[in-house]
C-alpha cells in the first residue's frame, strides 16, 4: 500500500483467530480491541456476530507477506542447496 490506497485485508500481525478484527481496525484506523468488543456485543445482543465474522473471514483476502519473509534457516542447520 505504498501509493496510499487503503485495502480491506485480514491482518497478519494483529490477529487472535483469523485477522478479521485486526484488518478492520487497520482499515478504519481504530484499535482492533474495539472491533473485537463490538463483535462480542453484536454476537450476544443481536446474534449475528459469529456469522458476520465467518463471512468476513471468507471474503476478506489475507494481507500479503512482507518482503523478505520466508523460511528462516538456523545457523546450526545445514544448507541443503
The pLDDT of residue 34: 92
Residue 41 resides in a domain: yes
Residue 76 resides in a domain: no
Residue 43 resides in a domain: yes
Range of the domain at 14: 1-63
Say which residues have a Cβ less than 8 Å from residue 21's Cβ, sequence separation at least 6.
Answer: 14, 15, 32, 35, 36, 39
The pLDDT of residue 68: 44
The tally of domains found in the chain comes to 1
Quick: pLDDT tens for 30-77. 998 998 898 888 888 888 878 888 888 899 888 887 744 555 555 665
Confirm whether pTM is higher than 0.75: no
The pLDDT of residue 5: 77
22: confidence class by pLDDT, cuts 50, 70, 90 = confident
Amino acid at each position: 500500500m505504498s501509493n496510499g490506497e487503503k485495502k480491506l485485508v485480514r491482518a497478519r500481525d494483529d490477529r487472535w483467530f483469523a485477522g478479521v478484527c485486526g484488518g478492520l481496525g487497520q482499515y478504519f484506523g481504530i484499535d482492533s480491541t474495539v472491533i473485537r468488543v463490538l463483535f462480542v456485543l453484536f454476537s450476544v445482543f443481536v446474534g449475528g456476530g459469529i456469522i458476520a465474522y465467518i463471512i468476513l473471514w471468507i471474503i476478506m483476502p489475507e494481507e500479503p507477506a512482507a518482503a523478505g519473509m520466508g523460511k528462516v534457516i538456523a545457523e546450526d542447520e545445514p544448507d541443503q542447496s
